Amino acid sequence: MSARIRVNGREEELNVPTVAALLAERGIAAGTRGVAVALNGAVLPFRRWDETPLSAGDALEIIRPVQGG
């Protein structure tokens, strides 16, 4: 069985080595204004996306600001 991770609550196959690679796959470059990431419940500053490996069972939250009151 292949390694799996959760991205924004959705389970998917892990097929990239780092957080930066996962974001890049979705067209989000490190430092994109308005995007932030939490790995396993803690904020992961964008400067560390590149050096942070992903492993089976990791949970990522990728957020952005939207309209709100």
Partner 1 sequence: MNDTLTIAGREFRSRLFLGTAGYPNQQVMLDALEASGSELVTLAIRRISLDGYSESLVDVIGDRAGLLPNTAGCLTAKEAVLTAQLAREALGVDWIKLEVIGDRELLYPDVEELLRATEELVADGFTVLPYCNDDPVTCRKLADLGAAAVMPLGAFIGSGLGIRNPHAIETICARSPVPVVLDAGIGTASDAALAMELGCAAVLLNTAVSKARDPVRMAAAMRDAVAAGRAARLAGRMPKRAFAEASSPQLGLIGT
The contacts of residue 69 (CB under 8 Å, 6+ apart) are none
Q: Judged by CB under 8 A, does residue 36 bind partner 1? A: yes
Q: Which residue has the tokens 């067209």?
A: 27
3-state secondary structure of 1: coil
Residue 1 or 42: the one with the smaller Cβ distance to partner 1 is 42
| The one among 1, 2, 11, 27 contacting partner 1 by CB under 8 A | 27
To the nearest whole angstrom, how small is the minimum distance from the Cβ of residue 51 to partner 1?
A: 16
Contact status, residue 54 vs residue 34, Cβ threshold 8 Å: no
Residues making contact with partner 1 (CB under 8 A): 7-10, 26-28, 33-38, 41-43, 45-46, 61-69
